[in-house]
Amino acid sequence: MKILIYSANFSPEPTGVGKYSGELAAWLGQRGHEVRAIAAPPYYPAWKVFSDYRGPPYQREQQDGIDVWRAPLWVPRNPGGVARAIHLASFALASLPLALAAALWRPDVVLTVAPFLTCAPGGWLAARLCGARAWLHIQDFEIDAAFELGLLRGGVLRRFVLAGERRLLRSFDVVSSISERMVERLRAKGVPPDHVRLFPNWVDAQRICPLGRPSAYRAELGIGPDTIVVLFSGTLGAKQGLAAIPRAAEQLAGRLDILFVICGDGAMKPQLQRSCAALPNVCLLALQPAERLGELLNLADIHLLTQDAGAEDLVLPSKLTGMLASGRPIVATCREGSEIASIVAPCGEIVAPGDPDAFTAAIVRLADDAPRRRALGDFARQYAERNLARDAVLERIEHDLIGSEKSFLPRENIGEKSPAPLSPAAPSVTSSASGPHANPGRP
């Protein structure tokens, strides 16, 4: 079948939405589907267009057998508030001609990926022009997050924008998201239940796995074998609640056996560098090559998943999949009852956001209990293998895509009954226990 992926963020961006959109396109192409993509030049997480793409505003390339069309966008230095809105709108307007022209290719499915919900009208129109299935995939409830984090303000503005979003969501044939709580939010926004799908992010569990030996990063960074490494690896952005990390490092400055390693890039990096400048127990690393991700994640004895309280059920951090697959325990800042808590609690510690003492105490508990770290890490790995393995997730989505295509064909062309679509009611961890003997809750 012919699939158009309309995603501003796309490979070779190494993290976040771009990573997943690029991997999805490549995987579908390898399965024999004809795939095209419309994307922006890569710029995330550094918020700077990659040097190889600073050429003509519109570009076309072949990537893993995928025909990728690039449209320009404006990238602000400080991506907040009005600047972020202009950023989103710039790509939506610049890419609209490409989306409409792609309708002439007559795809069977147009898959529009948000954030960049501003592209949704163009994706919907392109699908309608060629009779394709209009599918919207929500990686991030960007509008809700903008209001919750104070990037946008005003009750009247919020009601107006959310009403427009509700109408837009309801216009698509399929609307999917990456977690059960986000799927519930789609239903609450008025999307008909039979239009909703659960489309979780995934991990290559063969590439990201426990190494069974010390990570090469220990030798490269001069970290001794008895040092407990507490790792944050990912985007350094406003939604990450990163201020908790230097506070914890400051409280634990006397613990010579604990080292904090912060790896990544993003808008908050300069602020984080200032906060950690005087802390000898913090090591800051630049974003590492994608091919070394498994080695990096195995550097950790404990992973940190900090998150702003206002965003915990509006996004499900993409970094979580790799943390789990690496087989290491996690300390997460989130509220009881959130989806992050339901996943992390059986394989780590959950702490309420805004409680620095509790956050530090959770790190200390794990640092001082090696057998518990191993048990929780084993549980994390088992969870990743059962629920997040790449091929299993994408095969279910492929079945749903094929089912969507067949719904447009004459009955005599349908042939055999198509595989069951991925249900929004797929099982999930619901236990809030924090020990290694917690019930996983998923088969």
Average pLDDT over all residues of the chain: 88
Q: What is the pLDDT of residue 421?
A: 36
Peptide bond into 45 cis (omega under 30): yes
Mean per-residue pLDDT for 308-331?
85
Per the listing, tokens 């091929």 go with 391
- Could you give the percent of the chain with pLDDT greater than 70? 89
Angstrom distance (rounded) from CA 138 to CA 175: 7
Q: What is the pLDDT of residue 407?
A: 43
Angstrom distance (rounded) from CA 36 to CA 70: 11
Burial pattern 291-301, b for ≥16 Cβ within 10 A else e, equals eebbbbbbbbb
Cβ atoms of residues 95 and 125 within 8 Å: no
Q: What is the pLDDT of residue 436?
A: 33
More confident residue, 220 or 422: 220
Q: What is the pLDDT of residue 312?
A: 59
Question: Beta strands 59-63 and 109-114: pairing type?
Answer: unpaired
pLDDT at position 437 over 60: no
| 430: confidence class by pLDDT, cuts 50, 70, 90 | very low
| 311: confidence class by pLDDT, cuts 50, 70, 90 | low
| 27: confidence class by pLDDT, cuts 50, 70, 90 | very high
Helix (H, G, I), strand (E, B) or coil at 298: coil
pLDDT at position 71 over 50: yes
- Residue ranges of the alpha helices (H) in 44-119? 81-102
Cβ atoms of residues 311 and 338 within 8 Å: no
| 415: confidence class by pLDDT, cuts 50, 70, 90 | very low
pLDDT at position 322 over 90: yes
Mean per-residue pLDDT for 336-340?
87
Residue-range domain boundaries for the chain: 2-199, 216-384
Which candidate, 198, 139, 165, places its Cα nearest to that of 10?
139
Mean per-residue pLDDT for 49-68?
95
Angstrom distance (rounded) from CA 64 to CA 60: 13
pLDDT digits (tens, 9 = 90+) for 347-395: 999 999 889 999 999 999 999 999 999 999 999 999 999 999 999 999 9
Q: Give the Å distances, CA to CA, from 56 to 7, 12, 60, 62.
A: 19, 18, 10, 16
More confident residue, 239 or 342: 342
Beta bridge partners of 267: none
Q: Which long-range contacts (CB under 8 A, 24 or more apart) does 58-63 make?
A: 58/98, 63/11, 63/12, 63/22, 63/26
CA 441 to chain centroid = 23
pTM equals: 0.82
Provide the token pair at 356. 């620095």
Q: What Rg do the C-alpha atoms of the chain give, in angstroms?
A: 22
Q: What is the pLDDT of residue 389?
A: 93
Tell me the fold of 2-199: Rossmann fold (3.40.50)
Q: DSSP letters along 173-215, please?
A: SEEEESSHHHHHHHHHTT--GGGEEE----B-TTTSS--SS--
The dotted CATH code for 216-384 is: 3.40.50.2000
- Could you give the percent of the chain with pLDDT greater than 90? 71
Beta bridge partners of 302: 230
pLDDT digits (tens, 9 = 90+) for 166-214: 999 999 999 999 999 899 999 999 999 999 999 999 999 999 999 989 9
Amino acid sitting at position 101: A
pLDDT at position 293 over 70: yes
pLDDT at position 434 over 70: no
Which candidate, 34, 29, 28, places its Cα nearest to that of 2?
34
| 321: confidence class by pLDDT, cuts 50, 70, 90 | very high
More confident residue, 152 or 343: 343
Q: Which of 306-310, 365-369, 380-384, 431-435 has the lowest mean pLDDT?
A: 431-435
Q: What is the pLDDT of residue 151?
A: 67
Is-same-fold flag (2-199; 216-384)?
A: yes
pLDDT at position 120 over 60: yes
Q: What is the pLDDT of residue 442?
A: 33
Q: What is the pLDDT of residue 404?
A: 56
Mean per-residue pLDDT for 403-424?
38
More confident residue, 309 or 327: 327
